[in-house]
Amino acid sequence: MPEVLTFGECMAVLYPPDPVVIDDAPLLKWDIGGAEANCAIALARLGVSSRFHTRIGNDPFGRRMVDILAGEGVDTSAMQIDATRPTGVFFREWLSDGARRVFYYRAGSAAANMGPEDLNASHFAGVKAMHLTGITPALSDRAAALCTHAIDLAKAAGVLITFDPNFRPRLWTADKARATMTPIAAAVDVMLMGHEDAAALFGAGDDEHYLQSAVALGIKTVVLKRAERGALAIVDGVRYEAAVVAAERVIDPVGAGDGFDAGFIAGLLRNKSIPEALHLGAIVGAGSVAHLGDYAGYPTMSL
């Protein structure tokens, strides 16, 4: 029985094996990537059982996705095949100066057609936490309805709800994101956000503005991820600060935020203190940036 349930879109990702723009790449490698799937993999590597819910196409991308996730120890039993829609695909670059370009081909994907019927009360049996991100409601109205339904089910089951806004301006405007994500955020127990996420939800401001704006929504545990400046948190009115964990090298920042989320969630589920949970998140995030790929650098640890 999984301890953590998460759902969303995982896609095939194609990228140059070297730090060059796609225009100049003679070949592309491919793997899988997606915020919620990344988090599920990171949790599994930390010894926290996870299950990933999604829809995939009946295609090589979807089949490989199941194989990779299952190989990482993620429960894939709730990954449904959609015979009429494809698995989403995206292309991205990683350049030595830190610049990035991302090209999405996900409109009309199988995962974008997820809806409330994909989750029911039985899926929450034995589950301790549900993790969702703001990417899923950005996919479609049906996916947004799924998020609202999932929150209702999780609350009825007494499950901890964690949320990363993960604002993606390529998917929707800040105004639409704010209108959709604010009621979601107000219903969760834990919010883990970066500066871009916080600005989309609460407007321009400093760290204190972002933290207090989230607290004002009634969220008991608020974490602000600040990259090289570490993390801040307010939990039941108590303030915490955690230093960054130095990475052995910085190659690719993709997946670092998802890894941080997984580390923090794992810390909570293993009854770690808030400073310990923040530090664990920082460790996983630092491991991520030292390797190319969404999830390759997540550490395997026994908690």
CA–CA–CA angle 140, 147, 165 (5° rounding): 85
Among the options 118, 258, 261, 294, which is catalytic?
Answer: 258
Q: Concatenated DSSP letters for 239-263? A: EEEEPPPPPS--S--TTHHHHHHHH
The secondary structure of the chain in percent helix, strand, coil, rounded to multiples of 5, reads 40, 20, 40
Residues 62-98 as b/e (b if ≥16 CB within 10 A, e otherwise) read bebbbebbeebbbbbebbeebeebbbbbbbbbbeeee
CA–CA–CA angle 66, 265, 11 (5° rounding): 30
Estimate to the nearest angstrom the gap between the alpha carbon of 14 and the chain centroid.
Answer: 19
Question: What would the two tokens of residue 181 be?
Answer: 């994500």
Pick the closest to residue 132 from 9, 225, 247 (CA basis): 9
**Distance between CA atoms of residues 12 and 54, nearest Å:** 14
Q: Is there a catalytic annotation at residue 258? A: yes
Contact (Cβ atoms closer than 8 angstroms) between residue 78 and residue 104: no
Write the single-letter amino acid at 190. Answer: V
* Burial of 157 (C-beta count, 10 Å sphere; 0-12/13-18/19+): middle
* Residues known to be catalytic: 258
